[in-house]
Chain A
Amino acid sequence: MFEEIGTTTEGDLIINVGPQHPATHGVLHLVITLNGETIKKVEPHLGYIHRSIEKMCESLTYRQFIYVTSRMDYLSAHINNHACAMCVEKGMQIEVPERAQVIRVIMDELTRIASHELWWGAMAMDIGAFTPFFHAFREREKINEIMEETCGARLTMNYYVPGGLMADLHPDFQKKVKEFIVLFKRKIDEYDELVTGNIIFINRMKGVGFLSKEDAISYGCSGPAARGSGVNSDIRKLYPYAVYDKVQFDEVLETGCDSLARYMIRIREMKQSIRIIEQLIDNIPEGDFQAKTKAVLKLPKGEFYTRVETARGELGVYIVSEGGTTPYRIKFRSPGFSNLSALDHMARGSKLGDLVAMMGTLDLVIPDIDR
């Protein structure tokens, strides 16, 4: 009978979490070796949503390929576009107008809040609390509405073009963002009351998924996953881009190295994002929203690399150009891929129930991992 249910001779139980499983938001496939309830090994199997965006981009022009990248980490579509636009601008040496820079930062931070909101709801649902999901989506909806007015889309906005922005802001943009800030400041305290202070929640999170500082660096973790282990990894601070060097904000660091630390990072990061938006929303300079660029962009021969901080961590765009209208090779260094590689290390020896907490706090977005 034991052979029938798939145990190996050592008495291990191998179960599949995914590709269709409520714990994985998307089509991640984890093969888990269990000893009773204790995890012995986690093996990710990827590729269920691999669209080979890198290969696709090799046949798209520099104006076209940006739109494909919205589909990588769809929760931080703006930030992906930002990285790509910046990489092309770096190669072409285009000076982006100040107005576009500021709007880009505001949009990026709104995206970050929206992404963290979705993460917060989904993670709470993973560990068994259903209600936060709806509460998070209520506020996320407001951001989506703001995005929709200006960009015309709610998820894959494609608002950034090389040299600036696709179009100017909607006239109501500033008013709506200010309304949102007021609302959100009130709601984030509500989130803390509902989830953060809950004793069951803290017990589920504290000490779970331990990732030491050395391991976090070695596994190439970035974003909240690394900052939860005390690694200074905020690209916005380390290698400032756009107008991040002109705004006041703190790099959020926690030293808990566990899931609770990663959770707190994201909650505190939302507050920092609000702080950035508050500083910029009244100071959007007048001027062009787009630099004058040639109709056909040709990057000079060479290699260009840009790094930005998405909601999940460091996104790198590496363009190898041969001087043509399309990239010769393009590589997206996605944060999720590296963060996922640490999962096996974190999960070994913990309980099956902890795995969802770890996956939740790593904030895995599968199209980001698979690309």
Chain B
Amino acid sequence: MNNEELKTKIAELLPAATFDETGEWLNINVEPADWLSFAGKLRNDDSLFFDYLFCLTCIDWKTHLSMVYHLSSTKYRHNIVIKSKLDVARPEIESVSHIWKTAEFHEREVYEMFGVNFLNHPDLRLLILPDGWEGKNPMRKDFEDPINMIKL
């Protein structure tokens, strides 16, 4: 499916979604509350079949956090990008690790680097940071480490 077809199809599935077509792929903005049910539909709908989550990350926009999911279908070879704004003070979103298993590791990475709390994640522990890490999340823009970070 091309971007236009995807857009109509997704508008049917989730009327609340807003679109952004400036990039290479169709960007879909969803509310965190809608995300889990929407993700299930994206994965299981026969005409969409987004079975391959190839990138999961987060962007710190200072005013808010933005979760970014890059999805692809190994059957139809179409790609979409899902974005979801999170509150910077209490970032929370449903985990999709039972839909795409790769999300388990990627969500753990985002959890420790950005402090996003993934609800119903099977094993939300520190993956990269050392055990007992205290303090801010390193990938946030306001993170300061006077010893290890060199300002250029």
Contact = CB atoms under 8 A, between A and B. Distances in A.
Interface of A: 44-47, 50, 52, 54-55, 59-60, 214-215, 217-222, 231-233, 238, 302-305, 307, 314, 316, 318, 320, 328-329, 331, 333, 337-338, 340-342, 345, 370
A333 B55 contact: yes
B129 A47 contact: yes
A34 B78 CA distance: 42
Contact of A331 (B25, B57, B151): B57
Contacts of B55: 305, 316, 318, 331, 333
A57 to B, nearest CB: 11
Interface residues of B, number: 33
Contacts of A60: 152
Given A55-B138, A341-B105, A238 B52 contact: no
Interface in B1-28: 22-25
3 closest A-B pairs by CB: A220-B102, A47-B128, A341-B105
Given A50-B128, A316-B54, A341 B104 contact: yes
B74 A55 contact: no
Nearest to B143: A55
B59 interface: yes
12 contacts: A45-B127, A47-B128, A52-B139, A214-B51, A215-B101, A217-B74, A303-B81, A318-B68, A320-B59, A331-B55, A338-B102, A341-B105
Contacts of B52: 217, 220
B130 A302 contact: no
With a 10 A CB-CB cut-off, give which of B23, B128, B130, B152 has the most chain A CB atoms: B128
A331 B128 CA distance: 16
Contacts of B100: 218, 220
A59 B139 contact: no
A340 B102 contact: no
B113 to A, nearest CB: 8
Interface in B21-80: 22-25, 51-55, 57, 59-60, 68, 70, 74, 77
B152 A59 contact: yes
Contacts of B57: 318, 331, 333
A305 B55 CA distance: 10
A46 B68 CA distance: 23
B142 to A, nearest CB: 12
A117 B141 CA distance: 40
Given A303-B23, A316-B55, A55 B102 contact: no
A337 B105 contact: yes
A218 B70 contact: no
Contacts of B102: 218-221, 338, 341
A331 B113 CA distance: 12
A46 B70 contact: no
Nearest to A232: B74
Interface of B: 22-25, 51-55, 57, 59-60, 68, 70, 74, 77, 81, 100-102, 104-106, 109, 127-130, 138-139, 143, 151-152
Contacts of B77: 238
Contacts of A305: 23-25, 55, 70
Contacts of A303: 23, 81
Given A233-B74, A303-B81, 13 more contacts: A44-B127, A46-B127, A47-B128, A215-B101, A217-B52, A218-B51, A231-B74, A307-B54, A320-B59, A328-B59, A329-B59, A333-B54, A338-B106
Contact of B139 (A47, A55, A318, A337): A55
B127 A218 contact: no
A286 B106 CA distance: 44
Contacts of B128: 46-47, 50, 370
A314 B100 CA distance: 17
Contacts of B25: 305
Nearest to A220: B102
Contacts of A50: 128
B66 to A, nearest CB: 9
A215 B101 CA distance: 8
Contacts of A222: 54
A60 B23 CA distance: 23
A128 B74 CA distance: 37
B61 to A, nearest CB: 9
A218 B152 CA distance: 40
B152 A220 contact: no
A220 B53 contact: yes
A329 B60 contact: yes
A307 B70 CA distance: 12
